[in-house]
Amino acid sequence: MSESRLLASNRKAYHDYFLDDLQEAGIVLTGTEIKSVREGRMNLRDSYVQIRGGQAWLMNVHISPYSQGNRANPDPRRDRKLLLHKREIRRLQAAVQEKGLTIVPLRVYLKNNRAKVEIALARGKKLYDKREAMARRDSERQVQAVLKGQRNE
């Protein structure tokens, strides 16, 4: 049984992008980085995945230095390699080049005691798409409030 524990999520990605094709990847971390990640001291906001040299790299993720670490703590914003099969990397790269999509990390979690990141191909939302989603959410919330009020009567 694979037990997983959520460590960080990128809620802004759900708001800013239409998400397709979810995929799981491993992350290459140093010793003190994984300790900080286990404490949940990481931030995925404004992060993305870049493919260069036939490898996938996680960019712009902030992992706070480990509190009990020493001067060997790595740079909090360094690029981190993602562990994917070559065919998966080629498929993602083709989608980015042909369709103009972006690869964004959605959440980081522990699975079988290993740090994993869930990535997705993403297409940016326009402002009117965001407004439409907010209006839909508000109307659903109002309907739920009315239904809840009817049940309590």
CATH of residue 15: 2.40.280.10
Residue 135 lies inside a defined structural domain of this protein: no
d(CA 93, CA 135): 34
Written as six digits, the tokens of 136 are: 């839909």
The β-bridge relationship of strands 114-124 and 17-27 is antiparallel
Is pTM beyond 0.75? Reply is yes
Residue 86 lies inside a defined structural domain of this protein: yes
Residue 39 lies inside a defined structural domain of this protein: yes
pLDDT value for 51: 95
Residue 133 lies inside a defined structural domain of this protein: no
Which residue segment(s) compose the domain that 65 sits in? 4-125
Residue 147 lies inside a defined structural domain of this protein: no
pLDDT value for 1: 43
Residue 131 lies inside a defined structural domain of this protein: no
Task: State how many domains the chain has.
Answer: 1
Q: What is the pLDDT along the chain (153 residues), one digit of tens a residue?
A: 456 788 999 988 888 888 988 999 999 998 888 888 888 899 999 899 999 999 999 999 998 888 787 777 788 888 999 999 999 999 999 999 988 899 999 999 999 989 999 999 998 888 877 888 888 889 999 988 888 877 766
Cβ proximity of 121 and 95 under 8 Å: yes
